[in-house]
Amino acid sequence: MRGIISLVCGIIFGFGLTVASMTNPEKVLGFLNIFGAWDPSLAFVMAGAILITSPMLYLQKHKVKPWFADNFSLPTFKEIDKNLIVGATLFGIGWGLIGLCPGPAIASLALLNINSIIFLISMISAFFIVQVIRR
């Protein structure tokens, strides 16, 4: 049952990203271009997500466990290290250059966008390269 709920939530999330134009790199790059032709529309998408999520997080805070899981799984690692800084920097550079991050890129696969396919292949390749480097 948990797998079905996860699938439905993922589909709703992907649909929301598509409706909000987060799968359109030009729209995202327009939002990131604060010194040029800035497009503030994605700020409204983010504000809407915060308005919906905040009350739900507040309600969940006082529960013993989530609705569809055995317990809450919160991150325990709270230190800022080299891996976090390098990873966040590469993520930000990639997002700024390409206009896609992993969630919207995966959602845009449904649109058969060749740039998204190339992006995802590159991203997955980078995961494997990092694993090899770490060994």
Residue 47 has pLDDT above 90, yes or no: yes
Give the separation between CA 66 and CA 49, rounded to whole angstroms: 20
Q: Identify which of 54, 30, 55 has the alpha carbon closest to the alpha carbon of residue 42.
A: 30
Number of domains in the chain: 1
Residue from 92, 96, 118, 86 nearest 105 by CA: 118
**Residue 36 belongs to what domain range?**
2-74+81-134
Q: What is the dihedral of CA 128, 131, 133, 135, to 10 degrees?
A: -140
Structure-token match 């690692």, residue found: 77
pLDDT at residue 34, rounded to an integer? 87
Span 72-98, pLDDT tens digits: 787 888 899 998 898 889 888 888 888
Token couple for 53: 């999520």
Mean pLDDT, rounded, for 116-134: 88
34: helix, coil or strand? coil
* Cα–Cα distances in angstroms (integers) from residue 39 to residues 33, 43, 44, 80, in the given order: 8, 9, 10, 32
